[in-house]
Amino acid sequence: MSSSRYKLPAALIIAGVFAVGVVACGGNGSSDSSSGGAGNLSGNIRIDGSSTVAPLTEAMAEGFQTENPDVKVTVGTSGTGGGFEKFCVGETDANDASDAIDDEQKKMCADSNVEWEEIQVANDALSVVVNPQNPVKCLTLDQLSQVWDAGSKVTDWSQVDGLDPPFDAEATLFGPGTDSGTFAYFTEVVNGEEGRQRTDYNNVGEDDNQTVTGVAGAPGGIGYFGFSFLRENEGTITGLEIDSGDGCVAPSPGTVQDGTYTPLARPLFIYPSASALEKPEFDAFMEYYLQNVNSVAESIGFIGLTGEQLSDNETKLNELIDKAGGETPAG
Amino acid sequence: MAPRTRIPGTERARLATSGAHATTLRRLTAQPGADIWKGNIFLAALLFALTIALAGLAAIILQAAIEGAPAFSIKLLTNGPSTVNPEEAGFRPALIGTLYLILGVILLVVPLGVAAAVYLEEYADGNRWWNRVVELNVQNLAGVPSIIYGILGLAFIVRGPLDLGFILAAGSLTLALLVLPTVILASREAIRAVPSSIREGSLALGATQWQTIRRQVLPAAIPGVVTGVILAVSRAIGETAPLLLVGAATFVTFNPSFLGDDGYSALPVLIFNYASRPQEEFRVLAAAGVVVMLVVLLAMNSFAIWLRNRYEQQW
């Protein structure tokens, strides 16, 4: 009896020792087995930021790691803002962003001497979606604002001015949480001010799939999210055309790239830091990113860059690399 | 003093017998019916509550199993995440990350939690204000939202005084802080449940207080402590929000380690990310990931329950 009482503490200690051993072995093992790959670059690359952009960066990291097995790239999803909090104190090498860096974040970066460049990696079409039973095919920006603006009293589609054809059903609104880059962009271009939106809507937080389910289940449902959610759910929901003054334009890769789907076409970014570009592995990763991003963007739900956007990026990256090279590392 | 009425012995016995008879009869006839009835209702209510809890668990497992079925294969355990080829994707780095995180949590939380509980139950003078403050704090901390611990972890463990950086051990520490109150509270209950006669017997035989605690109280409290650890681990394994703050990434293709600064991942983080993607393949993967996580959790808990039953004793 008394001897068995000591078995638990003993087991715990043994477990602890064992764990440390496993960790030590694991560390050695991985570095041994991964050496001698095709590329001779090695090191760690840490990227964080928007969960919207993450799949694109992950696809790039995947491709890059097949060529350079000794480089360990990790991609986190703290959100655009949460990512900048880490990026601007130098804790990450690059930040994925679905919304451009704002003044507060710029100041934070400047305070810690983190130099960055804004590089567009893909396009997205913020898509406004409704239930397939809804006969309305097109909304003007003004009508969109009537529905979504702060203080809006619209509870039924019949209350929207100039609706064509007329539609009579209870309006059920679904939108992302207020921390989301999608929310920030939509409110700014539709309601004229970032964060300005009625509060009595179904807040789906970060889970846009809930908007799909919600809009598909309510005849008068309306919601908005990135283009990939529309493309994956065509049939269960319908994407609305948007009229910003020059006629109705549907969200599609073509209308985004030729600049007619305004103002809801939005750029997606990655922000590399100058000091990280001093590392050859990160330099190579960013080069790889820009060369290959367009070939996979469409297949994983994004809208590719135009030729002009691509060459613009190349210039920006080269400038930043020059900036990184021109600085003394002592700083 | 009024003269007492003299009742012959036989008469007194007869009165007593009839009185006892009447009382027993009332107990056995009128009241018992209602009591049995109430007892049955209570039992039914208990079973109902239990059924709801178990049905919830069964529903989650079933739904995840059905939805994730297309993705079930050994790849789930052997492959890393993939955005380009979702059909080849797996949870290996995230699974290993979660196992390390939980191992770290157990190693931290058991000694700290038990020590705190022993102090509060056996040594602390409840009349001293500082002990009351500690006690109140422990109880309140058990209800603090997990994201707050994430911010705490980021500010004091990842950065600030400890400055560990975004390593797995920092994640373990943060989760350990998060569940420590649960372990302390459960351990205190367990220690309090040890009969004081055991302590007094031990002290009377000449054992010191520490000997009494180590040889009598703690062994007897093990089952309760293990219950606390089960609750704590079950909560820690599913936490996403604090881990995102202290650096758990979604895309990690290599096996993480405790102290490596190359990054780590965890199951709930990856599941959460996959579940919110537009493509159906990833939602299937997320469901399969839920099954993986539940299997890991149930396996851990089964082991703990086995351990608990081994140490259970009757007084």
| pLDDT value of position B34 | 76
A contact residues 197-256, partner B, Cβ 8 Å cutoff: 206-209, 226, 228-229, 231-233
Q: Are residues A88 and A147 in the same domain?
A: no
Chain B interface residues facing chain A, Cβ-Cβ under 8 Å?
81-84, 100, 103, 107, 110, 165-166, 215, 219, 222, 244-245, 247-255, 257-263, 265, 269, 273, 275-280, 283, 307, 310-311
| pLDDT value of position A36 | 39
Is A26 inside any structural domain? no
Give the model confidence (pLDDT) of A283-323 as tens digits: 999 999 999 999 999 888 899 999 889 888 888 888 888 87
| pLDDT value of position A329 | 42
Instruction: Indicate yes or no: CB of A206 within 8 angstroms of CB of B276.
Output: yes
| pLDDT value of position A39 | 61
Low-confidence ranges of chain A (pLDDT < 50): 1-38, 327-331
| pLDDT value of position A68 | 93
Nearest-CB residue to B166 (from A2, A20, A91): A91
CB < 8 Å to B276, chain A: 51, 206-209
Task: Flag whether residue A113 sits within 8 Å of chain B, measured between CB atoms.
Answer: no
Query: Check: CATH 1.10.3720.10 for B73-193+220-311?
Result: yes
Q: What is the 3-state secondary structure (H, E, C) of chain B?
A: CCCCCCCCHHHHHHHHHHHHHHHHHHHHCHHHHHHHHHHHHHHHHHHHHHHHHHHHHHHHHHHHHHHHHHHCCCHHHHCCCCCCCHHHCCCHHHHHHHHHHHHHHHHHHHHHHHHHHHHHHHHCCCCCHHHHHHHHHHHHHCCCCHHHHHHHHHHHHHCCCCCCCCCHHHHHHHHHHHHHHHHHHHHHHHHHCCCHHHHHHHHHCCCCHHHHHHHHHHHHHHHHHHHHHHHHHHHHHCCCHHHHHCCCCCECCCCCCCCCCCCCCCHHHHHHHHHCCCCHHHHHHHHHHHHHHHHHHHHHHHHHHHHHHHHCCCC
Nearest-CB residue to B262 (from A61, A72, A207): A72
Instruction: Indicate yes or no: CB of B84 within 8 angstroms of CB of A76.
Output: no
Q: Are residues A245 and A145 in the same domain?
A: yes
Domain ranges of chain B: 73-193+220-311
How many CB pairs (< 8 A) connect A and B? 117
CB < 8 Å to A122, chain B: none
Low-confidence ranges of chain B (pLDDT < 50): 1
Q: Are residues A165 and A197 in the same domain?
A: yes
Nearest-CB residue to A58 (from B103, B222, B251): B251
| pLDDT value of position B145 | 93
Residue-range definition of the domain harbouring residue A291: 41-123+267-326
Q: Are residues A307 and A217 in the same domain?
A: no
Q: How far B249 CA lies from chain A's nearest CA (Å)? A: 4
Count of structural domains, chain A: 2
Q: Are residues A152 and A227 in the same domain?
A: yes
CATH of the domain at A50: 3.40.190.10
CB < 8 Å to A78, chain B: 244-245
